Amino acid sequence: GAVVSQHPSRVICKSGTSVKIECRSLDFQATTMFWYRQFPKQSLMLMATSNEGSKATYEQGVEKDKFLINHASLTLSTLTVTSAHPEDSSFYICSARDASGREETQYFGPGTRLLVL
């Protein structure tokens, strides 16, 4: 099956610093990747849709200048949380859609747990 990796799996940072999270599709090409955030006991909330070679589309209420997304290749998208604050602490999960697949299936990465002190 399709494999999506994320790095790092866990990060602790000080308030005010920036954190970069990488999302890679390992065995398929992904023209579209998605970034979600999940708070404890809540469902996944889509933050943005990342398309290779173009600007990301952000969901309402998500600050594009705070959550920088770059999708430079068909296998890599990055999310940078700039000037992180404690309220940004969450579980960040990316997913990728197989560009060659006929079905609209999204495959999820293992997630990155961010703790901002």
CB atoms within 10 A of CB 98: 19
β-pairing, 76-81 vs 19-25, is antiparallel
Torsions phi, psi for 58 (to 5 deg):
-100, 145
Asked if 58 is part of the footprint of another protein (rule: CB under 8 A), the reply reads no
The one among 18, 110, 115, 117 contacting another protein by CB under 8 A: 110
Q: How far is the CB of 16 from another protein (least distance, A)?
A: 27
How many helices (DSSP H) and strands (DSSP E) are in the chain? 0, 11
Q: Which stretch binds another protein (CB under 8 A): 15-23, 66-74, 78-86, 104-112?
A: 104-112
x/- map, 19-48, another protein, by CB under 8 A = -------------x-x-------xxx-x--
